[in-house]
Amino acid sequence: MKILVINGPNINMLGIREPEVYGRQTYAELCEMIQVYAAENGVTVELYQSNHEGDLVDTIQQAYGVFDGIVINPAAYTHTSVAILDALKACGIPAVEVHISDVEKREAFRQISYVREYCEKTICGHGFAGYTEAIDYLMNRHQM
């Protein structure tokens, strides 16, 4: 099974500021944790992070026919991007939305998610563990 893990803008800055919201671990540590978990579970994972909406759309489009599942944290684009929602719909790959923080308990604008309409599941506020929970969901779904 092949899973694409996509992270949006500023996720590469994790651990540098706002540790009370996003924790002290870095993006490099997140990638390492995901790769170790994937290897333990016999899943191939590719990681992608971009600060640019069009690059995220391109990456989702290129996943068509290549990946069996997508884990996506669109970061700030969660709350604004119809383009990312449309790309997910266009490629039709099962997807899970992940947020490190509990967006439901933050500002009103963070409670709006465009991608949620497409994603089969949303995991919020579980920190980095949300990514491995999303991988678990996609693995179980794939086995059915």
Residues designated as active site: 22, 99
Instruction: Please say which residue, 91 or 124, places its beta carbon nearer to ligand CA2.
Output: 124
Residues 83-102 contacting ligand CA2, CB under 6 A: 99-101
CB of 143 to ligand CA2, least distance (A): 27
49 contacts 27 by C-beta, under 8 angstroms: yes
Q: Does 16 bind ligand CA2 (CB under 6 A)?
A: yes
Determine the Cα–Cα distance for residues 75 and 70; give it in Å rounded to an integer: 15
Q: Does 75 bind ligand CA2 (CB under 6 A)?
A: yes
Cβ-count burial of 37 within 10 angstroms (0-12 exposed, 13-18 middle, 19+ buried)?
middle
For 41-70, give one letter per residue: b (16+ CB within 10 A) or e: eebebebbbbbebeebbebbeebeeebbbb
CB of 13 to ligand CA2, least distance (A): 4
Q: Does 76 bind ligand CA2 (CB under 6 A)?
A: yes
CB of 107 to ligand CA2, least distance (A): 8
Place of tokens 């990638």: 31
Which residue ranges make up the site for ligand CA2 (CB under 6 A)? 10-11, 13-14, 16-18, 22, 73, 75-76, 78, 99-101, 103, 110
